[in-house]
Amino acid sequence: MKIKVLDPFQDAKTLWLGLDKPELNQIRKVFQLITPQTVGSKHIMAGITIFSPGEASSLHNHPESEEMDVVIKGSGEVVDGIGNRRPFKEGDYMFIPEGEYHQHVNTGNEPLWLLWCYSPQGSLPED
């Protein structure tokens, strides 16, 4: 069967980002689920990132990709490249245009689970 059913905690490529500079409070665990390496995808890349309370991604962009995010659990804010902030909550969707700088911040009291998808395939920030 060509259809894949994946368990994010067993089938994903996992990585920690932000461990090299803990003082920035940008530590998060990433589960890469839909990638060329994991399932042979050609056009999209998707996974889940989990942020503890108070943690954030780095301010980053995906120069050639649009991004869609779905908040599975928790709440927070998305910050754009000039510092504008917009709150989000469980069940919300976000659309980030190609090349737009952005940062996800967990402002809540519980872990933030963020499902993300890039198209065409992009890369994750290295920090």
Per-residue pLDDT tens for 35-66? Answer: 999 999 999 999 999 999 999 999 999 998 99
> Are the C-beta atoms of 50 and 71 separated by less than 8 Å?
no
| pLDDT confidence of residue 122 | 67
Long-range contacts of 87-92 (CB under 8 A, 24+ apart): none
Q: Which of 89, 61, 59 is nearest to 75 (CA)?
A: 89
Task: Quote the CA–CA distance of 2 and 42 in Å, as a whole number.
Answer: 14
Task: Quote the CA–CA distance of 50 and 56 in Å, as a whole number.
Answer: 10
| pLDDT confidence of residue 20 | 86
Question: At 26, which amino acid appears?
Answer: Q
**What value does the mean pLDDT of the chain take?**
92
List phi, psi (to 5°) of 9. -90, -10
Reported confidence tier of residue 120, pLDDT bands at 50, 70, 90: confident
Quick one: average pLDDT of 1-5?
88
> Are the C-beta atoms of 127 and 26 separated by less than 8 Å?
yes
> Which residue ranges form the domains of the chain, and what is each CATH number?
13-119 (2.60.120.10)
Identify the bridge partners of residue 69 per DSSP, sorted by sequence position: 94, 116
Distance (Å) of CA 34 to CA 4, 44, 115: 10, 7, 11
Share of the chain above pLDDT 90, in %: 75
